[in-house]
């Protein structure tokens, strides 16, 4: 983000000019390369990231060796803000899923600005509330809902952050994100393709019928989206 260019990150867009000026001199634009770890569970979070594009998966490891995504962050979010506001230790892994640009700043600078600006601090706290609701809804969804509905919800969220119906995804990655076996993803993906909702192959998924995908999804997608909008609508 240059000194004159408006930020693409929606949280940065919500800041007034004075708070944004506090941040600008500390922000460094980086390219988020797919697979890059932006935070590792149990380790110190050194930087905070405001994505302008791409997506970051917040992933929790299970004792059986599996992984599961509890939240997906993008241009409506900040990565590492919760750790920066607390003890500085990342509570989960944050891994780049889709590449894109982000503004990064050191955790010390983030904390100093949060201490100096009540507005900035409040905005970051609201984001963490939205992230907590996202993670809680994901836990509920993963426990109660069938894989088909969960996959539809996941694809809708990915589409929202990517602004594209074409998503560079393999079934293996989807299985890791959703904490299920690959054959479960394969069966559901086949069913969605036969229904004309998606088309997949060669490491990508094309959403071909958005309305049908929304109907297939559980209520969790709309619930998370509504909660996020409610937290920030009066900002």
What are the structure tokens assigned to 198, written together? 């998606």
196 in the same domain as 180: yes
Q: Is residue 229 part of a domain?
A: no
Which pLDDT belongs to residue 226?
Answer: 87
Whether residues 50 and 133 share a domain: the answer is: yes
d(CA 183, CA 128): 34
- pLDDT(225) > 90: no
Full residue range of the structural domain in which residue 193 is found:
146-217
Burial label, 134 (beta-carbon count in 10 A; 0-12, 13-18, 19+):
buried
Question: What's the confidence (pLDDT) of residue 235?
Answer: 64
Task: Give the residue from 168, 138, 133, 140 showing the smallest Cα distance to 154.
Answer: 138
pLDDT for 62 beyond 60: yes
Look up the CATH number of the domain holding residue 109.
2.60.120.10
Task: Tell me: pLDDT of 2 over 70.
Answer: no
97 is a domain residue: yes
Domain assignment present for 2: no
Where is pLDDT greater, at 32 or 140? 32
Looking at the structure, tell me whether residues 116 and 187 fall in a common domain. no
pLDDT in tens, 100-151: 999 999 999 999 999 999 999 999 999 999 999 888 988 888 888 999 999 9
- C-alpha 161/C-alpha 2 separation (Å) is 22
Average pLDDT over residues 44-58: 96
At 164, which CATH number? 1.10.10.10
Confidence (pLDDT) at 1 = 53
The tally of domains found in the chain comes to: 2
What pLDDT, on the 0 to 100 scale, is given for residue 6? 65
Residue that has been written with the tokens 């780049």 in this structure: 96
Q: Where are the alpha helices (DSSP H) in 78-170?
A: 81-85, 107-116, 118-144, 147-162
From 117, 141, 165, the end of a domain falls on 141
Phi-psi map region of 32: left, alpha, beta (phi>0 left; psi -120 to 50 alpha) = beta
- Residue 35 falls inside a structural domain: yes
**116 and 52 in contact (C-beta within 8 Å)?**
no
pLDDT at 91: 92
Q: At what angle do helices 17-24 and 107-116 cross, to 10 degrees?
A: 150
User: How far, in Å, CA of 9 to CA of 67, rounded?
Assistant: 28
Which pLDDT score is estimated for 234? 62
Q: Which two tokens stand for residue 173?
A: 């990655």
SS3 28: strand
| 159: pLDDT strictly greater than 90 | yes
């Amino acid at each position: 983000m240059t000194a004159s260019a408006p930020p693409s990150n929606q949280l940065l867009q919500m800041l007034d000019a004075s708070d944004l000026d506090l941040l600008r001199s500390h922000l460094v634009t980086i390219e988020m390369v797919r697979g890059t770890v932006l935070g590792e569970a149990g380790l110190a979070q050194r930087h905070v990231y405001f994505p302008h594009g791409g997506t970051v998966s917040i992933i929790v490891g299970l004792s059986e060796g599996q992984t599961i995504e509890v939240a997906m962050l993008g241009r409506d979010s900040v990565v590492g803000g919760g750790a920066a506001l607390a003890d500085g230790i990342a509570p989960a892994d944050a891994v780049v899923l889709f590449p894109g640009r982000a503004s990064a700043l050191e955790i010390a600078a983030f904390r100093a600005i949060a201490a100096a600006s009540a507005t900035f601090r409040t905005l970051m706290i609201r984001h963490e509330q939205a992230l907590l609701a996202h993670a809680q809804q994901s836990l509920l969804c993963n426990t109660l809902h069938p894989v088909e509905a969960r996959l539809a919800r996941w694809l809708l969220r990915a589409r929202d952050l990517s602004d594209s119906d074409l998503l560079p995804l393999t079934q293996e990655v989807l299985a890791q994100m959703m904490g299920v076996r690959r054959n479960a993803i394969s069966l559901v993906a086949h069913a969605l393709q036969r229904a004309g909702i998606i088309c997949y192959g060669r490491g990508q998924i094309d959403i071909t019928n958005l309305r049908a995908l929304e109907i297939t999804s559980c209520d969790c997608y709309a619930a998370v989206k509504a909660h996020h909008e409610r937290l920030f609508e009066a900002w």
